[in-house]
Amino acid sequence: MFIVMLKFSENKGDAGRFMEGHKDWIQRGFDDGVFLLTGSLQPSLGGGILAHNTSQSDLQDRVAADPFVAEKVVEAEILEISPSRTDARLSFLTG
């Protein structure tokens, strides 16, 4: 499981130009069964993604394809988590 942090860079002002492509990229992540959650980092710091069912290298490739990353609107950081305990509502994550 991974947490992807997409923190705005100095090119934050270009976000509007690439928003539709970014939204399409997010939808593909959900359609492919990789993204579980996306949302905004507060206050207006960027975005975050909870991802699973992928390898770190495949996720790195996926993140690199995000127009926000490619156009340097955000800087991406990928953190891997090995769940050892979850709430029962998340039991699908640990089997």
Per-residue pLDDT of the chain (95 residues; tens, 9 = 90+): 999 999 999 999 999 999 999 999 999 999 999 999 999 999 999 999 999 999 999 999 999 999 999 999 999 999 999 988 888 887 766 65
What are the C-alpha distances in Å from 48 to residues 63, 67, 83? 12, 15, 18
Cβ(78)–Cβ(2) below 8 Å: yes
> What integer pLDDT is reported at residue 51 of this predicted model?
97
Is 0.85 surpassed by the pTM of this model?
A: yes
> What integer pLDDT is reported at residue 93 of this predicted model?
67
- CB count, 10 Å around CB of 50? 16
- CB count, 10 Å around CB of 67? 19
